[in-house]
Structure 1
């Protein structure tokens, strides 16, 4: 990577790690909320699902803002907002308070992915490699954040632990302010990647100047967003969007209650740390996320060297096989359990950089922010249903029902990825 690519990779990896550190810490609080507030898994699944849904529901607006005003400031605002929301959990004495804090977190988190990914897609020369570093940074956050929460919960009450997570977010903002980004995509509406309109003002017609002025009004911006969205989906983006929705349901359904599922596996015995019991199953969860670092990086490299559409198909097929094997292997001993956790983490996180490369290849550069906004509307907005469905499955039929449903979702994603690979092969 050149110096510009390294700067983009460092900045976005920092933001990505912060995002996922918060995101994957939330499931560790879920069993505590169920116990403290005396509610079912379905209720807590609905609460966390609503928070995750906001990430997706607001993502198209974030993507449009990144296309118009640039990505850097949105990434910094996202990091600071997520930290402030977790600080607010310190004041949550009821489930309603937790819900409000989580919704605030979801609104702030919605800014990250469309802004960060559009910055990479427009500002990086070696896009796949930068996406791999970006993904690996996210997985480092996934490991460090939950592991810090696991250890902190052995010594402190959950509210204090949640509030303490605001400190690294504040540090990340300060570090991010010092990273120099030369190509932000700010104002890049013509797809040339240069940050301008592509024509000088003297070459514009009166109609073009009038249209540009109208687009700066709230109503004009909304109309432009609708028009850009129509063009995006008319260009064959619909199948990519469908894949992201199904993947989001799998991802959220699997990971929201995974610490709870692992806690019920009989092969683990509690460990003692500092005179207090520490559930070994939580360390298995951290191990799964750690292997996800390799999955993210491998997926990004593969998308630079192989057909990303076929790689996406292979990743979803792997997820389907792992979902079938997860429960039998998890009850066969510690080594088989750690192996199947590693495979789940690898394939689940290998999907992300490959799918992001597919998006970048499928749409015009000037619409990358909006396209990633819709991607995360599908992944986190529609995908948030996975948390609710997973909670309902656990209440109705336990872990067996959960993984049966996940297997079906992974198979559907593989079928859609296969259709995309066939369509791409025919058009090339």
Structure 2
């Protein structure tokens, strides 16, 4: 990589880490909020869904803003806004305050993915390496966010913890003001002789581009229900794992678990939070394997295979919760499969979208995954509150099952 490539790659890696650190710190904070504010999982799931929905919904207009104001400006504003939102989270009172702060986080974070992907596409000559590093950084944030939050909550109250979490994003935003690079350095270096994107400057152009984009294949990929599974599973998994582990620890001798330590620190140590962070860390390997598969098999078959595994994993969670070793095993399988599917999904989106509107296609994709997918938090929260644990995982299995059926349609469509 040349100097410009390294600056852009480092800047986008930092932004990607921050976005997913905050995104996945929220489920850990929820375990504290459920106690502090004495609200139901259904209520808190809906509150959190507001921020997550805005995170997805904003991706579509965010892509248009990138073309108008540039990626560096949008990413810097994103970093600043996320830091400010977590500072606000530390100060606002009650559930209403949490809703407001998370809403601000969702709006500001939503612009990152279209801005970061556009910056790498237009500015980095060695795009493959940059996308690889960028994806790995995202998974570091996905795993590191819950782990860092869990560590902070051992000795600090949650309001102090979120202030500390806000600092890295604010510092990165300041660094973004001083770093310089050419956002379009690679435009003349791509193999096809130039940048294939088309800026959208009016509502009419947006409608025309969308009509061209909405082929049967693209729409089928777009409406896959994997966003509901992703958000529903990851939002309430810490709480569900906590329940499983509490039962196992209460019967420690029968389950082959060693003696549980005592003391003030041990009383704040929630093993479920670290198991959750661990399964997310496995996603780094999943991303890598999924990326390799995109070059070796048809992405539609890869998607169908991963979705089949997600159905099985959801159905196995409750039976596996009877033994610690099985619970860890199924959690590791979840972390691997959930993130191995992402590069396969991205490759499929690219296959069914025209090159000149690739940015818009990913805007719609993140809108569907993170915006519509945010309903998963509310639906699963309702199932947690009013149903059994088996109902929760049955609902998650149905999300993956519907997506699997759609993937089957896609395979037939492309035959």
2:232 corresponding residue in structure 1: 253
**Structure 1's 408 and 127: CA in aligned 2 closer, same or farther, altered over 3 A?**
farther
1:232 corresponding residue in structure 2: 213
Q: Which runs of 5+ in 1 are unaligned?
A: 198-211
1:135 corresponding residue in structure 2: 135
Give the whole-Å Cα distance in 1 for the aligned partners of 2:56 and 2:355.
Answer: 21
Offset from partner CA, 1:246-302 (integer Å, 9 cap, x none): 111001110111100011012247656863520111111111111111111221232
1:412 corresponding residue in structure 2: 402
**Structure 1's 350 and 8: CA in aligned 2 closer, same or farther, altered over 3 A?**
farther
Give the whole-Å Cα distance in 2 for the aligned partners of 1:33 and 1:361.
Answer: 42
Q: Is 1:267 the equivalent of 2:248?
A: yes
Give the whole-Å Cα distance in 1 for the aligned partners of 2:344 and 2:307.
Answer: 11
**Structure 1's 369 and 71: CA in aligned 2 closer, same or farther, altered over 3 A?**
farther
Is the contact between residue 62 and residue 111 of structure 1 (CA under 8 Å) also seen in structure 2? yes
Q: Please show how residues 276-425 of structure 1 align to structure 2 within 5 Å.
A: 276-277=266-267, 278-332=269-323, 334-424=324-414
The Cα shift of 1:100 comes to 0.4
Q: Is 1:78 the equivalent of 2:78?
A: yes
The Cα shift of 1:174 comes to 4.1
**Structure 1's 73 and 185: CA in aligned 2 closer, same or farther, altered over 3 A?**
farther
Q: Please show how residues 99-110 of structure 1 align to structure 2 within 5 Å.
A: 99-110=99-110
- Normalised by the length of structure 1, the TM-score is 0.85
Give the whole-Å Cα distance in 2 for the aligned partners of 1:39 and 1:252.
Answer: 20
Q: Please show how residues 42-61 of structure 1 align to structure 2 within 5 Å.
A: 42-61=42-61
2:254 corresponding residue in structure 1: none
Which range moves more in the overlay, 39-48 or 64-73? 64-73
Which range moves more in the overlay, 381-390 or 139-148? 139-148
Give the whole-Å Cα distance in 2 for the aligned partners of 1:364 and 1:273.
Answer: 60
Is the contact between residue 286 and residue 336 of structure 2 (CA under 8 Å) also seen in structure 1? yes
1:183 corresponding residue in structure 2: 184
1:33 corresponding residue in structure 2: 33
Give the whole-Å Cα distance in 1 for the aligned partners of 2:193 and 2:218.
Answer: 21
2:388 match: secondary structure: helix
Give the whole-Å Cα distance in 2 for the aligned partners of 1:367 and 1:327.
Answer: 43
**Structure 1's 286 and 89: CA in aligned 2 closer, same or farther, altered over 3 A?**
same
Which range moves more in the overlay, 266-275 or 39-48? 266-275
Give the whole-Å Cα distance in 1 for the aligned partners of 2:70 and 2:193.
Answer: 14
Which range moves more in the overlay, 139-148 or 256-265? 139-148
Offset from partner CA, 1:333-390 (integer Å, 9 cap, x none): x222111111001111112222112222322233122111111110111111100100
Is the contact between residue 57 and residue 371 of structure 2 (CA under 8 Å) also seen in structure 1? yes
The Cα shift of 1:315 comes to 1.2
Is the contact between residue 122 and residue 365 of structure 1 (CA under 8 Å) also seen in structure 2? no
Is the contact between residue 293 and residue 349 of structure 1 (CA under 8 Å) also seen in structure 2? yes
Is the contact between residue 310 and residue 421 of structure 1 (CA under 8 Å) also seen in structure 2? yes
How many residue pairs get matched? 398
1:200 corresponding residue in structure 2: none
Which range moves more in the overlay, 95-104 or 137-146? 137-146
Give the whole-Å Cα distance in 1 for the aligned partners of 2:309 and 2:8.
Answer: 31
The Cα shift of 1:36 comes to 1.7
2:62 match: secondary structure: helix
Q: Choose which of 218, 223, 234 in structure 2 pairs with 1:242.
A: 223
1:414 match: secondary structure: helix
Q: Is 1:156 the equivalent of 2:147?
A: no
Q: Calculate the aligned-residue CA RMSD, in Å.
A: 2.7
**Structure 1's 148 and 193: CA in aligned 2 closer, same or farther, altered over 3 A?**
same
Q: Which runs of 5+ in 2 are unaligned?
A: 251-259
Give the whole-Å Cα distance in 1 for the aligned partners of 2:5 and 2:270.
Answer: 41
Give the whole-Å Cα distance in 1 for the aligned partners of 2:287 and 2:262.
Answer: 32
Give the whole-Å Cα distance in 1 for the aligned partners of 2:185 and 2:413.
Answer: 32
Which range moves more in the overlay, 78-87 or 352-361? 352-361
1:209 corresponding residue in structure 2: none
Give the whole-Å Cα distance in 2 for the aligned partners of 1:137 and 1:326.
Answer: 28
